[in-house]
Amino acid sequence: MTAAELVRTRLLAASPVTALVSTRIYNGAFPQRPTLASIRVNDISEMPESFHARGPVDHHVATVQVDCVAATLASANAVAQAVHGDGLGASATGLSGYVGTVSGTTVDIVRPGFKHQYFDAEEFQQWVHVRRYEVQFRGSA
């Protein structure tokens, strides 16, 4: 399981997200002409293992990009806010601050990062809200 797949699985379990997009959360690429609102999750980078003085540790750090696409800016922002959530650790409603287990992988923390929004005149002709998250996890992802 990649970090993007881990994030997708987490988002599918987040009811504030699925209330807005149902199961329209895709890894890598959207289908042609996706039903909106939709989410795309992509792996940006990953440090597959960490080290300390005694050698490697089973700890990974990855950056994942989440694109929320909708017909209006307000809708794209609403989906992005649901994805972001309330940051309450194990009971977090979205990604920000989430700690817990996803498909047998221990997630130590999800930290929000870079974000922006724009109107995509070429690919979707829709509004896109983009946010990157740093995901720290242990186990095989």
91-118 residue pLDDT tens: 999 999 999 999 998 898 899 988 888 8
Q: How far apart are CA 107 and CA 68, in angstroms?
A: 22
pLDDT, position 93: 95
- Tell which CATH architecture fits domain 3-138: 2-Layer Sandwich (3.30)
Dihedral of the CA atoms 42, 22, 100, 136 (nearest 10)? Answer: 10
Q: Where are the alpha helices (DSSP H) in the chain?
A: 3-12, 15-21, 73-84
Cα distance between residue 45 and residue 63, in whole Å: 5
| Contact yes or no for 123/110 (Cβ under 8 A) | no
pLDDT of residue 46: 76
